[in-house]
Structure 1
Amino acid sequence: MNKSVKKIAIVGPESTGKSTLTQQLARQYHSPWVAEYARYYCAALNGPCTLQDEMNMFHGQVALEDSVLASTEKDLVFCDTTFLTVKIWTDHLFGETPQLVLDALHARPYDLYLLMDIDLPWEEDPLRDFPDLREHFMQVWHRELQNLQANYVVVSGTNDRFAHAVAAVDHFLQM
């Protein structure tokens, strides 16, 4: 594995274009990307999500990311969300986050977070749950990233979102 690889996480509330933007950025920079494990996991759920399901998604996201990092020779990887989402969802759904997830937040940092703004219209999806809580979750994302003292940029725009994201990545890479 390339030890100097930079990890850029594309994060934010539901229906903000994270997956699309992650793939666009990976193409733009000729770099690999890590898919959102929870999307695959939740698609197979037959009932309400449990705390164990959230932990399974945590382990799956970490394993998927480690797999991509281990197999790349590139110095840049884009991550379609991160396991920080598990913290946000477990806090919201269960009122707490397992210690394993809390410990990993500092042990597995990202070099840059692109926080997707909620200025895109909501798109229905059977895996999305809270169209009326987008502002709440945007505030939660800000708070969580600030608590991590993370390097992050809010990416807004309906027609120029990709251009704003590229500008943020270019600025980061020039630092």
Structure 2
Amino acid sequence: MTGSESVGKTTLGIQLAARYGVTCVAEFVRDYAAAKGAPLDFRDHGPIAKGQMAREDAHIAAAVARGDHLLLQDTDLVSTVVYCHHYFGRCPEFIEQAALARRPTHYLLLDIDVPWIADGIRDREVQRDEVQALFRTTLARFDAPVTVVQGTWDERLATATALIDSFIDTHRHG
């Protein structure tokens, strides 16, 4: 799952993980920002990317060990790429390359058609359109397969489960 702030990625990830009995990899940057206790700067993006990759790798290894055929992610390195460009106008090349190399099978791009909710870390309410456009262009630049998820919370869940169900069915029969 990916998209701008406050679009329900974490909520949808928790719902889908429960429905399918799998793991949803939590977003690393949220923990990093809370631990830092100060505004992030450009130098933070290397440790953020490395922390995200380590978290993903640990969850991937555990999912493989359990025999899971599905792993959900509450964001990935695409978010780091997008926010580097948004805040600083540039992104370290190794992060861009890693984001492309680690691109998942499919992205659910959650739209900004739900209310923005402040949480003490989010700060882009008035720039949601701009940030969401960066997500769209970055995913297109990475030639990533994407489904846009819109509507009510129930409609978002229905869209996501229909897509995942079709992937599971294809995996079983194809």
TM-score by length of 2: 0.91
Alignment of 1:8-157 (within 5 A): 10-72=1-63, 73=66, 74-157=68-151
> Residue 165 of structure 2 is aligned with which of 156, 165, 170?
170
| Residues 72-109 of structure 1 deviation map (CA, whole Å, 9 limit, x = unaligned) | 22111000000111111111111111011011122212
1:172 and 1:113 mapped to 2: Cα distance? 12
State the alpha-carbon separation in 1 of the partners of residues 141 and 36 from structure 2: 31
| RMSD, matched Cα | 1.2
Number of residue pairs matched by the alignment: 166
Q: Gaps spanning 5+ residues in structure 2: where? A: none
What fraction of aligned residue pairs are identical, expressed as a percent?
36
**Whole-angstrom CA distance in 1 between matches of 2:37 and 2:8:** 26
CA contact (8 A) 1:36 1:61 kept: yes
DSSP 3-state at the match of 1:121: coil
Larger relative helix fraction: 2
> Counterpart of 1:154 in 2: which secondary structure?
strand
The corresponding residue for 1:7 is none
Q: Is the contact made by 1:35 and 1:79 (CA closer than 8 Å) also made in structure 2? A: yes
Helix, strand or coil at the partner of 2:71: strand
Deviation at 1:114, TM superposition (A): 0.2
Q: Distance in 1 between the 2:113 and 2:105 partners?
A: 24
Contact 1:112 1:172 in 2 (8 A): no
Q: Matched residues in 1 for 2:77 and 2:43: separation? A: 14
1:27 CA displacement: 1.0
- Matched residues in 2 for 1:42 and 1:152: separation? 28
TM-score under structure 1 length normalisation: 0.90
Give yes or no for contact 1:34–1:79 (8 Å, CA) kept in 2.
yes
Give the superposition deviation at 1:174.
Answer: 3.4
Residue 56 of structure 1 aligns with an amino acid whose one-letter code is P
